Structure 1
Amino acid sequence: MVDYQSISIVAATEAAMPEIVELFLKQQTRQHVQNPSLRKERSRTDIEMALRVYQNEEAIMALDREGRVRSYAQPSVWELNATSILFSFLSARNGIVQNLILPDPADKDAAIVSAALLTALDSFWRKSGTSGDLIRWPSSDNCKWWDEVLDEQRFQLDSMCAFRPLQPFFVSQLTIPSLDIRAAKQDDEEALVALFQEELHFHERYTPFVRRSDQGVNAFRRALGRAWKNEELEEGAPLVLVAERAGRIVAMVESTLLTISSYDQPGFTPPGRYCCLDNMCVHQDFRGQGIGRLLLQTLEEVITSFHFDLEGYMLWFNPANPSATQFWPRVGFQPLWTTYQRLHGKDS
């Protein structure tokens, strides 16, 4: 048992489940009021089922001096597949937490309770030999003390998952003379890889968590390979569009279909199917000319033609990147949840 001032961190018990569920109910109500785009509020029964999906002997809770449950977490470890494209964004072995429940931000001791919980999570992850750790939390449920608690544990702002409803991107159609938007073909692969690497390089100046890696490039090539084999989007193949000027590929957008289930973590995204914008890059010499807007306009036309039953569009962007923070909200994307990351050892 770890004591943090007036708070004790102990193993979660079955007897405490009703209190834990009640905390979850209050938390989801508060967060949904802050941002109605988050997943709809769940019933007490659904919450208990969701908690039990990830329940394990490592689950912990914070108790105050009166023995009341104040917070809860299910720590675990996420090890990347050796061929994952996420090696360009995450460490190989990541500490994560499922079903994180924190005190109401208005509680006087909310910072103390949260700091105690994160200290216990840190201990678990270090014993598990993680090379980096992640905290995911609704972007709208934020306050100064939460930022300070994360900062004390060396967590930094990493990315935001943003959502856009399924509606037209633009009221009027955009055209750019001498620019063609078309489906990518196999002969484009080297140009696409170069754009992918340029995108990573561009982000390296804003965050320590994006890096060029052989695993990431190879994974991107494998994804393209599925498109070259004419695999269907519903089978997991990407849809890749390119912008071409005078025979030169100057931009690309790559998207896939992403299905979110009722039990997918961190549990903030409404269940359903989405068009996920995995990569969009405009060559640095051609930015600021509306090419990104035209790519999105064409992507929307293509996706609409498939008549998929979609909830909307999703993407992850780096909030430290000024271009991204200006562009994506302007075209209708609003943050759902934020990822904070930290690295250990040689990765830090």
Structure 2
Amino acid sequence: MTGGPRATVPDSPAQVMTDLLGVQRRRFAALDPRLPEAPAPPPGDIIVVGTPPHRVAGVVTHHSWPAGSGPLLWSAAQVSELHPVIGGAGHGPLHTLVDAWRGHLLPDVLRDHDSAATVIWPSRDVVATRVFLDRGLMPLAVLAVRPCGPFPEPEPDPSLVVRPAGPDDLEVCVRLALEELAYSSQVGGSLMRPDAEGVKRTMIRDRLGRGEPTWLAERHGNAVGMIECGHADAAPGAWLANLLPGGVWGYVNCASVTPSERGSGVGTHLVATAVASLESSRRGVRGTYLYYNPPNPISSVFWPRAGYSPLWTLWEVRPAAGLR
């Protein structure tokens, strides 16, 4: 006696993710050799759409920032993030995944003006770029990297002095940080919230108290620029290992030049000093990284000239209901 045809057991969502992730890792390696191995997505709501060979998947996560927290100066209060696992898929399947993502947005998020839908993706993947633009997402920030090496020598400026900042420089550092925030809030993802001054003062006081590298540029004794920086380890299991190859990296957290001095070379002197210090003060530093805003007409020119090139792009739409 023979049985009838056996029913096909569909792959579990976890198995689909595993299979697609293997292909995605090859895709990333071919796109940009500077990328680390494509990471597995974090825990969240798993989405699987389509059928082979057009099946794709993703994980949707949601987080909220409480009032008064530092990230609210560059982030919406409620954020829905898509972590695509699309293997080698093209435009059509990725469009379908974004459709499914919008269906997973929480009602509270859709009603909240202080919300965002975001996705971080390799900057060189132009297939994804076309899809994200079509769906209303904007490239509000890029993570850019620079390998270790000589920095372009700035023009000599005898009237300019660059020195380390200390706790006594708190107020001038807060002023310069707020000037940068006021400008970047017009041309990128930063937000000038009502409590920005208090939040910045606490963050900078803590940085200076811990002795984290902060440099001031002074002209004739007046502070005209500031740069905050430090080191981070892309060790296995660390969040940075999802974005950068393993090892120690220098990072530039904030660079600010007072409005009257922009274009005078202050920024170049600050960055040259900071990069040289970051690369020489720790052994085995692989390079430096930072975030800048592509819509910013100053940053989008200054940082590439300094040798930084985009690795990851943060795509975002605010409010989240604007996701098409």
Question: Could you tell me the TM-score, scaled by structure 2's length?
Answer: 0.84
What's the RMSD between the two structures over aligned residues? 2.9
User: d(CA) in 1 for partners of 2:321 and 2:95?
Assistant: 26
1:196 is the counterpart of 2:177: yes
Following TM superposition, by how much is the alpha carbon of 1:316 offset from its aligned partner in structure 2, in angstroms? 0.5
Paired with 1:347 and 1:68, the residues of 2 have a C-alpha distance of 30
Tell me whether 110-119 or 238-247 shows the greater mean CA deviation: 110-119
| Structure 1 match to 2:120 | 136
Q: Which residue of 2 aligns with 1:157?
A: 139
SS at match of 1:316: strand
Q: Give matches, 1:35-46, under 5 Å.
A: 35-39=32-36, 41=37
Residue 30 (1) aligns with residue 27 (2):
yes
For 1:17-48, what per-residue CA distance to the aligned partner results, in whole angstroms no more than 9, with x for missing partners? 45433322322223222221111x47xxxx6x
Counterpart residue identity of residue 197, structure 2: V
Task: Label 1:311 to 1:125 Cα distance change in 2 as closer, same or farther (>3 A).
Answer: farther
Q: How far is the alpha carbon of 1:178 from its aligned partner?
A: 1.2
Q: Do residues 222 (structure 1) and 206 (structure 2) align?
A: no
How far the C-alpha of 1:217 sits from its partner, in A, is 3.4
Equivalent position of 2:245 in the other structure: 270
Question: 1:80·1:86 contact (CA, 8 Å) conserved in 2?
Answer: yes
Name the SS for the 1:322 alignment partner: coil
Q: Which amino acid aligns with 2:135?
A: Q
Alignment of 1:72 with 2:44, yes or no, is: no
Tell me whether 1:102 sits opposite 2:86 in the alignment: yes
| Shift in Å, 1:329 | 1.3
Which position in structure 2 is the counterpart of 1:282? 257
Map of 2:267 onto structure 1:
292
Matched, 1:335 2:310: yes
> Aligned with 1:25: secondary structure?
helix
* In structure 2, distance between residues paired with 1:135 and 1:158: 11
Unaligned runs of 5+ in 1: 1-12, 233-237
Q: Is the 8 A contact 1:80 1:92 kept in 2?
A: yes
Residue identity matched to 2:234: I
Instruction: Assess, with a 3 A threshold, how the Cα gap between structure 1 residues 216 and 313 changes in structure 2: closer, same or farther.
Output: farther
Percent same amino acid among aligned pairs? 23
* Counterpart position of 1:62: 49
Distance change in 2, residues 1:203/1:111 (3 Å): same
Cα distance between partner residues in 2 of 1:271 and 1:81: 32
1:345 Cα deviation from its structure 2 partner: 7.8
Relative distance call for 1:125 and 1:321 in structure 2 (3 A) is same
Cα distance between partner residues in 2 of 1:281 and 1:328 = 13
Q: What residue identity is the alignment partner of 1:333?
A: Y
1:242–1:251 CA contact under 8 A, matched in 2: yes
Q: TM-score, normalised by structure 1?
A: 0.78
Kindly indicate whether the alpha-carbon contact (under 8 Å) linking 1:138 and 1:268 is maintained by their aligned counterparts in 2.
no
Q: Distance in 2 between matches of 1:104 and 1:338?
A: 19
Question: Residue in 1 aligned with 2:7?
Answer: none
1:155, distance to aligned residue in structure 2 (A): 1.6
The separation in 2 between residues aligned to 1:187 and 1:250, in whole angstroms, is 16
Classify 1:134/1:95 alpha carbon distance in 2 versus 1 (closer, same or farther; 3 Å): same
Change in 2 beyond 3 A, CA 1:22/1:190: same
Local SS of the residue matching 2:149:
coil
Q: Does 1:93 align with 2:93?
A: no
CA contact 1:20–1:69 (8 Å) conserved in 2? no
Structure 1 residues 124 and 345: CA distance shift in structure 2, 3 A: closer
Number of aligned positions between the proteins: 309
- 2:26 alignment partner AA: T
Note if 1:111 corresponds to 2:91.
Answer: yes
Name the SS of the counterpart of 1:244 in structure 2: strand
